[in-house]
């Protein structure tokens, strides 16, 4: 894969774009502002992933030596410039959206997200839980961004409320997944002197915390049907995701080895994709 594509982690960036697409589907809105929102989201997250690799260079030399920077395919200087360029273009597009929908919120959200991604990579990632919650917040913000753009364009407050609810679910599940990833990366993080939850409190407590969040989020899933936010198709589809979530919570409690953490992280990602599909189909 081209290193400039690989470093932005297109899979993760597309996941964020899907969140915005889902809000377009839920709000039945496919206008130019929502299309521009997809581009801004992709670029902002790509910039965040790139700057994260810049600050994680030493850790990645241990945990992920094949990443573009530690492998020598992109220099630190070029990667940093690349990240800043992606951020700037994303903010410019956010400004265009603000003009089109006559609301200051789109550019505030995009610029705020870019700043938060930078400080996450530089300072917050190694903080106990703060880094995990920050990633979760940024994921949930994708739903809120889409809902805000549609709400501003159509003067519909309900879509903003729905985006806040979906954002909350995304924050919880992403935070849990980030804790699992910290358990997986514990050796490299120790070498770098990071203070993640598993390092400070141990793998076992980290597993209990992650599993607890997963279970709480999963139990709350049916409420979106009960409160008539989504239709019957939602609950049928999301049921399969719930099974995967429960299994992941059980798996991480049982075993915190690197291989297991990697499997759980992957399963949570798949479960989230199933939930996203449920959101989309359940909105018709």
Residue 27 lies in a domain: yes
Which residues are CB-contacts of 50 (< 8 A; sequence separation ≥ 6)? 7, 8, 79, 82, 83, 86
Residue 214 lies in a domain: no
Q: Cα 283 from chain centroid? A: 22
Residue 212 lies in a domain: no
Residue 272 lies in a domain: no
Residue 255 lies in a domain: no
pLDDT of residue 128: 81
Residue 179 lies in a domain: yes
pLDDT of residue 14: 85
Token pair of 134, please? 């920050």
pLDDT of residue 222: 95
Closest CA to 83 of 68, 61, 98, 66: 68
Q: How many domains does the chain have?
A: 1
Separation of alpha carbons 136 and 109, rounded Å: 15
Taking the chain (284 residues) in runs of 10, the rounded mean pLDDT of each run is 88 87 91 96 95 86 82 90 97 97 96 96 83 93 96 90 94 95 84 82 94 96 92 95 96 91 94 93 89
Residue 271 lies in a domain: no
pTM of the predicted model over 0.85: yes
pLDDT of residue 239: 96
Closest CA to 279 of 25, 17, 12, 38: 25
| 170: CATH | 1.10.357.140
Per-residue pLDDT reduced to its tens digit, 52-108: 999 988 777 777 788 888 888 998 899 999 999 999 999 999 999 999 999 999 999
pLDDT of residue 60: 77
Residue 207 lies in a domain: no
Q: Which range of residues forms the domain containing residue 69?
A: 3-201
Distance (Å) of CA 151 to CA 15, 32, 93, 109, 159: 22, 14, 18, 14, 6
pLDDT of residue 183: 92
């Amino acid at each position: 894969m081209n290193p400039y594509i690989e470093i932005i982690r297109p899979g993760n960036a597309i996941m964020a774009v899907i969140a915005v697409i889902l809000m377009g589907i839920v709000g039945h809105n496919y206008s130019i502002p929502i299309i521009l929102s997809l581009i801004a989201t992709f670029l902002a997250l790509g910039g965040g992933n790139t700057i994260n690799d810049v600050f994680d260079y030493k850790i990645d030399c241990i945990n992920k030596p094949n990443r573009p920077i530690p492998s020598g395919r992109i220099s630190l200087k070029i990667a940093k410039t690349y990240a800043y360029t992606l951020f700037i273009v994303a903010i410019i597009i956010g400004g265009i959206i603000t003009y089109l929908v006559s609301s200051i919120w789109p550019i505030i959200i995009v610029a705020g997200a870019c700043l938060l991604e930078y400080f996450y990579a530089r300072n917050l990632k190694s903080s106990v839980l703060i880094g995990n919650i920050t990633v979760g917040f940024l994921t949930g913000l994708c739903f809120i961004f889409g809902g805000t753009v549609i709400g501003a364009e159509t003067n519909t407050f309900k879509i903003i409320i729905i985006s806040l609810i979906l954002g909350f679910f995304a924050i919880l599940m992403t935070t849990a997944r980030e804790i699992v990833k910290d358990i997986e990366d514990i050796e490299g993080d120790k070498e770098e002197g990071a203070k993640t939850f598993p390092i400070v409190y141990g793998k076992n407590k980290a597993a209990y915390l992650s599993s607890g969040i997963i279970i709480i989020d999963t139990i709350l899933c049916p409420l979106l049907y009960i409160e008539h936010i989504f239709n019957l198709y939602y609950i049928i589809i999301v049921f399969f995701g719930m099974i995967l979530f429960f299994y992941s919570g059980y798996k991480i409690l049982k075993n915190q080895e690197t291989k297991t953490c990697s499997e759980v992280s992957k399963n949570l990602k798949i479960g989230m994709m199933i939930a996203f599909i449920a959101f989309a189909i359940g909105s018709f």
